[in-house]
Amino acid sequence: MRSLLPFLPLFKQAKFPLFLGVVLMIGGLACSIGLLTLSGWFLSATAIAGAGALFNYFYPSSSVRGLAIGRTAMRYAEKIVTHDATFRILAKLRVQVFSKIIPLSPAVLNRYRNSDLLNRLVADVDTLDSLYLRLIAPFISAITVIGMMTLALSLFNLSLALLIGAILLILLLIIPMVFYFLGLTFGNKLTQSRSLYRMHFVEFIQAQAELLLFNAQDNLQQKLNQTEQQWQNYQQRESNLSGFSTSVLMFANGLLVVLTLWISSNIEFAIEEYRLAFIGLFTLSALASFEILMPLGAAFLHIGQVISSAQRVSEIIDQAPLVQFDGTETAVNFSNILFDLKNISFRYPERQDIALKQVNLQIKPKQKVAILGKTGSGKSTLLQLLVRNYDPILGEIHFGDKQLSAYRESTLRQQICFLTQRVHIFSDSLRNNLQFATTTPLSDKKIMNVLTQVGLPNLAEQGLDQWLGDGGRPLSGGEQRRLGLARILLSDAPILLLDEPTEGLDRETERQVLKLILQHCQNKTLIMVTHRLTAIEQFDNIVMIDNAELVEQGNYTELYQQQGYFHSLVQRI
């Protein structure tokens, strides 16, 4: 239950709607119980009075109609108010969770699969709506209505009213507690199996093309069916227990009705003439009390899933970012040295192998730097450190005349444009996918020219308002890479970091793209990771990294004459 406490303060953001929802829920329950109770007395009293007796049936008949209308109106209003308040709270919770997730990227979030994060943000947050709708509000309403019911019945017979109230309170405490512990035994497993199924299902849909290409769809679909079957087994178990809770409550309510009928038939009432009418009043009141307890058995059975979902959400938002942007510097002084790396060593979280070891490197403003090395040698890691996606475990990185950690995050993002190996295409128009590369509004003509330059004239002809869809599915891998390069050419950042920008492009297109990049970066600092040697002689500094260490650096002529690692690489290629 402690895992639910961090989410309770969210209710403060909708205090009045939540309070009004509880009041309407209490009113609806009171009208429902009052309706059946008054109907029992009215029918019995009318039968006792007979056809020839004087009996004022206007007040009770109008009260019955008023209670029936009031019950309908209050329940309708209660559904609107409580669900609206809950949806508003869930919306704020999603924003809060997302705001906590953003600082965790990419260092912490790399441990989670995208489909798992989506499931936590959507399904697990949705499950938390039960906290108010099915637990807090019904429980408060039940206690209040039991108190009101006991007080009203005490006007006719105090001892019987206290007995009914005491029995209802005992049931209110025992039955939810019993089903709470029953729900805990499988609530976590049900939530985990639901999450696993949805995660596999999302990945199954996303990988349809690859699965069909390699004829692996049947195996994965069989595994997905097994996961679904496990989830359905837990759902069936929950449904069985839910039905059992209903039967237990109905049985307890039946016993209460029989007990009330037996006791009321043996006690005296103030008006003995209407004794049978009072027996009907108490008996039907006990019968109506079933409506108070009915929602609570299934609700507390469901609480195991609510707790498990709360724990899954808290697992994400309670983590501290590996990189804390607590710097205050907003201006960068570009001195003779732009980046100064001193004895940098780095290891990725939860991994034992070293990614970079004792790296010393200086990069000057407007310098063109190429970083070469084998796959896994640490080239991309170096770029990740320069943009502060990670902090080194040893050594210091200076940016301008201050440490990299001294700057605000917004300052670094304004100064550096980083193109990773994976170009993300947003589910938006082509225009908006390019506009976010710069804060300056882009004209259609400029966007068209850049698209033509990177070899996407056909895409430009289809219009800038065309929808690219989730992940840019209409685009091929090469087109996505070129779209990323278009963002680079549209960026006004003074520092460009490119990680394999020409990967997947043919030789001729690669030469054209590199020519565009170098032209665009004439007055900018360019740091590019590459495996290829195309146009490598045009870079001011070539950095060779092997086995996490910087082994050579210098211009093309210097490195080639050293007869070292770079010379052997050129000869081999």
pLDDT of residue 69: 92
Sort 303 into a burial class: Cβ within 10 Å, 0-12 / 13-18 / 19+.
buried
> Of the candidates 120, 126, 131, which has an alpha carbon nearest to the alpha carbon of residue 195?
120
Alpha-carbon gap, residue 310 to 322, rounded angstroms: 23
pLDDT of residue 55: 62
Amino acid at 53: A
Phi and psi torsions of 222, nearest 5°: -65, -40
Matching fold, domains 2-317 and 339-572:
no
CATH class of the 339-572 domain in this structure: alpha beta
Q: Where are the domains of the chain?
A: 2-317, 339-572
Q: How many CB atoms lie under 10 A from the CB of residue 485?
A: 26
- 461: Cβ–Cβ under 8 A, 6 or more apart, which residues? none
Handedness of CA 475, 479, 483, 484 (dihedral sign): positive
- pTM of the entire structure? 0.71
Q: How many CB atoms lie under 10 A from the CB of residue 470?
A: 10
pLDDT of residue 144: 92
- 12: Cβ–Cβ under 8 A, 6 or more apart, which residues? none
Handedness of CA 242, 248, 252, 254 (dihedral sign): positive
Task: Assign a CATH topology to domain 2-317.
Answer: ABC transporter transmembrane region fold (1.20.1560)
Q: Where are the alpha helices (DSSP H) in 207-353?
A: 208-213, 217-264, 275-288, 290-301, 303-317
Strands 525-529 and 368-373: parallel
Phi and psi torsions of 562, nearest 5°: -75, -15
pLDDT of residue 253: 87
Q: How many CB atoms lie under 10 A from the CB of residue 139?
A: 17
> Of the candidates 87, 182, 167, which has an alpha carbon nearest to the alpha carbon of residue 125?
87
List per-residue pLDDT tens for the chain, 573 residues long.
677 777 777 788 788 888 898 899 999 889 988 888 888 877 777 777 665 455 667 777 888 888 889 889 998 998 999 888 888 888 888 888 888 888 877 777 777 777 777 778 788 888 887 778 878 888 889 899 999 989 988 888 888 889 999 999 998 888 888 888 887 777 788 888 888 888 888 888 878 877 887 887 888 888 888 888 988 888 888 888 888 888 888 898 889 989 988 988 888 776 666 678 888 888 888 888 888 888 887 778 778 788 888 888 888 888 878 888 888 888 777 778 888 899 999 988 878 888 899 989 999 888 999 998 888 888 888 998 998 888 898 999 988 888 888 888 888 888 888 888 888 888 888 888 888 878 888 888 888 888 888 888 787 777 778 888 777 777 777 788 888 888 888 888 889 999 888 777 778 878 888 888 888 888 889 999 988 888 888 898 989 898 888 888 888 888 888 877 787 878 776
Query: Which string of DSSP letters, residue by residue, matches 38-85?
Result: HHHHHHHHHHHH-SSS----HHHHHHHHHHHHHHHHHHHHHHHHHHHH
- 50: Cβ–Cβ under 8 A, 6 or more apart, which residues? none
> Of the candidates 338, 345, 378, which has an alpha carbon nearest to the alpha carbon of residue 359?
345
Crossing angle of helices 290-301 and 217-264, rounded to 10° = 150
Alpha-carbon gap, residue 293 to 176, rounded angstroms: 9
